[in-house]
Amino acid sequence: MFLKKLSEKTDNKFPFVRIKEVVFDRENFSVEMVIVLPYDIDYKVWNDDVREDLEKNCRELMPDTFAVHFRYVKSTLDEDIIKRVVKNYFVENNKALIGQIDEENIAVNISKNAVKITLPCFDCVCDYMQKSGIVDKMTDYLNRNFVADKIAINLVKIGKQDTREILVKQEDVYIDRGIVNISAQHALKGSGIDSRPRYISRYDKPKDSVCVCGCVSGFTRRVSKTKGYVFYTFTLDDTTGTMDIMVFTRSKKKACLDCVENDQYLVVEGKLEEDDYRKGLCLFAEKVDYCKIDFDEMQANMKASYDAQKKKNKSYPMPYHGSGNSNLMDFLEETCELLENRDVVVFDLETTGLDTERDRIIEIGAVKLVKGEIVSYYSTMVDPKMLIPAGASSINNIYDKDVADAPYIEDCLPDFMDYCKGCIIVAHNAGFDVSFVKRECKSLGMSFDNMVYDSLQLAQKAFPGFGRYNLGFLCKKLGIELNNAHRAYFDAEATARLFIKEANKLQLK
């Protein structure tokens, strides 16, 4: 819509630009415009004068009270990039349709400045995509990301999907849903519980409605000092974890749970909240029932899930056969004490995002230095148990299909930490990567006590006049080869070469 207004205002003076995004920040009265240009645009067509004219016309279409900022990106009409953006469209806008698209056989044909996309999809969604306007929306999405004269999407029906095939695939990898089967309930408080309890281990933060079951311990009957009402405190244990329970009543004498004893089985439902007195989570029960719990089935489910996870592909340390070792130490007049006496693991992570509390690891790459030479490497993808955001994939080129057969973090992190045992740890912008590893170690009950060096901070000391210290810039400046940037192993190998230069120059001990 904005591009249409701009074209009308300027009589189509800027046919070579696309407006990818207009972001309003109403709180700060500002607007950011993301403008897409062709990758190979000629200087005569695009120069400072043209840019100033474009920005002037854009500002005139914006509210006077808003500050307008511009960000420019260049795109190229490349088959692989367009395929990737098509897949991203479904991830961002229509996740339910991902399984109905034959992603592997998407075809892109580029002729002059026109793009034709052939999209194979199953019968059941082909007509739906046409009638619901998804094809038009996708075309608009692509037009905002690429500068092309025409973009056409052609849907091709590939027949009906065999649902039996899907069921077989689901059975191959058992997923424990964390639901507990209970029976013979008898209501003690409330009108009876209809919800199915879930594993206690699934709850690690406050939640309005929680249903859990387990064996009772620490059962205590108390009386409130203010109104004299009876209330109860106890702990439930379902073998996956424990949870503190509190039950309030309106009785001053005999109350609903007076008959309960330790080692009995209860199912409770209520609100899980932070309890200041207990310094942790506590479930304030609204309903309580006696029950019988099928612990044998629980154990069988957990074992089946664990066995299925073990089938996922795992990676182990491998000997390094790269040609780079021959010149790693050539420039050193004198090897520093640290490289001579300590083994070093240089590592890098790729993640689903930048939030160290919520995002997940999707790739670990590392190399080990012994006396300043790379002797082995460790590289593994990691299944984050979540969809990888399109923004992350656009940077590291890691997609959901790439981690489908990868191990979970709990299956590969112990191997990685064993690889790092007794070594100094090095990473570029180490605070970010190490915070992810420490968080996962804590959740698995593992310790992280390695000494850590940050190659970014060391670069600022060793090369104070550079001004920029991101890994790509440093490698270019220092003549270090960096292939496949933003992939964990290749970044780790380049960081190792950078660290050797830093360690020697600073004479680290």
SS3 state of residue 216: strand
Q: 319 Cβ partners below 8 Å, 6+ apart?
A: 375, 376
In the prediction, which pLDDT does 458 show? 94
381-382-385-386 Cα dihedral, nearest 10 degrees: -50
Q: What is the pLDDT of residues 254-298, one digit of tens each?
A: 788 999 999 999 999 999 998 877 778 999 999 999 999 989 888
- For the chain, how far is it from start to end, CA to CA, in angstroms? 61
- Do residues 496 and 488 make contact, with C-beta atoms less than 8 angstroms apart? no
Q: What pLDDT score was predicted for residue 273?
A: 92
Q: Quick one: which of 395, 450, 439, 443 has its CA closest to 417?
A: 450
The residue behind tokens 């064996």 is: 215
What is d(CA 249, CA 232) in angstroms, rounded to the nearest whole number? 9
Q: Please give the pLDDT value at position 25.
A: 72
CA–CA gap between residue 221 and residue 261 (Å, rounded)? 10
pTM of the predicted protein model: 0.43
Helix (H, G, I), strand (E, B) or coil at 228: coil
User: How high is the pLDDT of residue 123?
Assistant: 65
Looking at residue 100, what is its pLDDT?
67
Give the sheet arrangement for strand 452-454, strand by strand. 318-319, 373-381, 361-370, 344-351, 424-427, 452-454
Catalytic residues: 486
Residue ranges and CATH numbers for the domains of the chain are 2-75 (3.30.70), 79-157 (3.30.300), 182-294 (2.40.50.140), 318-506 (3.30.420.10)
Cβ contact 214:293 at 8 Å: yes
285 burial level (CB within 10 Å; 0-12, 13-18, 19+): buried
Residue 170's pLDDT is 38
Q: What is the DSSP string of 450-498?
A: --EEEHHHHHHHHSTT-S---HHHHHHHHT----STTSHHHHHHHHHHH
Q: How far is CA 310 from CA 119, 313, 492, in A?
A: 35, 8, 27
CA dist 9 and 4 (Å) reads 9
Which tokens in the block code for residue 343? Answer: 């083994």
Question: What is the pLDDT at residue 252?
Answer: 80
Task: Please report, in tens digits, the pLDDT of each residue of the chain (509 residues total).
Answer: 677 787 787 888 887 778 877 777 767 778 888 888 877 777 777 888 888 888 888 888 877 777 888 877 777 777 877 888 888 787 777 665 666 677 777 888 888 888 898 888 776 667 767 777 788 888 888 887 787 888 888 888 776 544 334 333 334 456 677 889 898 778 899 888 888 899 998 888 888 889 999 999 999 999 988 888 999 999 999 998 999 999 998 888 778 899 999 999 999 999 999 887 777 899 999 999 999 998 988 888 888 777 766 556 666 677 775 544 434 444 444 568 898 889 999 999 999 998 888 899 999 999 999 888 888 889 899 988 888 888 888 888 899 888 887 888 888 898 899 999 999 999 999 999 999 999 999 888 888 999 999 999 999 999 998 888 989 889 888 888 887 667 788 889 999 999 999 998 888 87
Using only C-alpha atoms, what is the Rg of the chain? Answer: 30
